[in-house]
């Protein structure tokens, strides 16, 4: 990016801003990063133009994020992929992060509700059921029953909660 040293251009700030905008767009097309562009601007122009350059770069980045192609996923497909990810042990935050990047707002909301539904209603594996049962028995053996109730309340899945209620009845 080549910026000539600051010249007043008879005080016409709009002309200067337009020249800077053109230079920034060209620099971005040439592959320069925001930090590099700001360094060049700081070297060649006054602080008011540096602030303008930072604003322009933020607008360009924002516009680039908005201009990505929108893909409409079939909701059945989306639900299936989410279900498989949950079963595979993928963290909810990771699922939501990926979906926020690649889904529409309506699809993202669907994903949030699908995750909640899956956590509440999926049938846990026998291994999960055994682990939860063992954990509850350990809690009953070493802690007051109040800790067991707290643990049961922290469980989202209704089938795993049912195991907790059975342990409470047994003890």
User: What pLDDT, on a 0 to 100 scale, did the predictor assign at position 77?
Assistant: 93
Q: Which residue has the tokens 């059921």?
A: 129
Q: Does the reported pTM lie above 0.85?
A: no
User: What pLDDT, on a 0 to 100 scale, did the predictor assign at position 5?
Assistant: 43
Widest distance between CA atoms in the chain: 89
Q: Tens-of-pLDDT digits for all 171 residues of the chain?
A: 544 444 444 557 788 888 888 889 888 888 889 999 999 889 888 888 888 889 888 888 888 776 766 678 899 999 999 999 988 888 999 999 999 888 889 999 999 999 999 989 988 889 889 999 999 999 989 988 889 899 999 998 899 999 999 988 887
Decide if 163 contacts 132 (C-beta within 8 A).
yes
Dihedral of CA atoms 91, 95, 101, 107 in degrees, nearest 10, equals -150
User: What pLDDT, on a 0 to 100 scale, did the predictor assign at position 171?
Assistant: 78
């Amino acid at each position: 990016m080549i910026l000539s040293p600051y010249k007043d251009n008879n005080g016409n700030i709009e002309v200067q801003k337009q020249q800077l905008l053109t230079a920034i767009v060209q620099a971005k097309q040439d592959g320069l990063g925001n930090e590099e562009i700001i360094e060049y601007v700081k070297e060649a122009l006054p602080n008011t133009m540096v602030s303008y350059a930072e604003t322009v770069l933020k607008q360009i980045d924002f516009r680039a994020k908005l201009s990505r192609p929108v893909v409409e996923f079939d909701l059945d497909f989306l639900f299936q992929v989410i279900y498989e990810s949950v079963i595979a042990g993928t963290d909810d935050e990771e699922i939501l992060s990926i979906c926020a990047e690649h889904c529409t707002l309506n699809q993202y909301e669907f994903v949030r509700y699908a995750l909640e539904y899956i956590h509440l209603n999926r049938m846990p594996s026998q291994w999960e059921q055994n682990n939860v049962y063992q954990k509850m028995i350990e809690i009953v053996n070493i802690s007051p029953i109040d800790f067991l109730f707290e643990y049961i309340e922290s469980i989202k899945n209704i089938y795993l909660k049912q195991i907790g209620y059975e342990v409470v009845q047994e003890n």
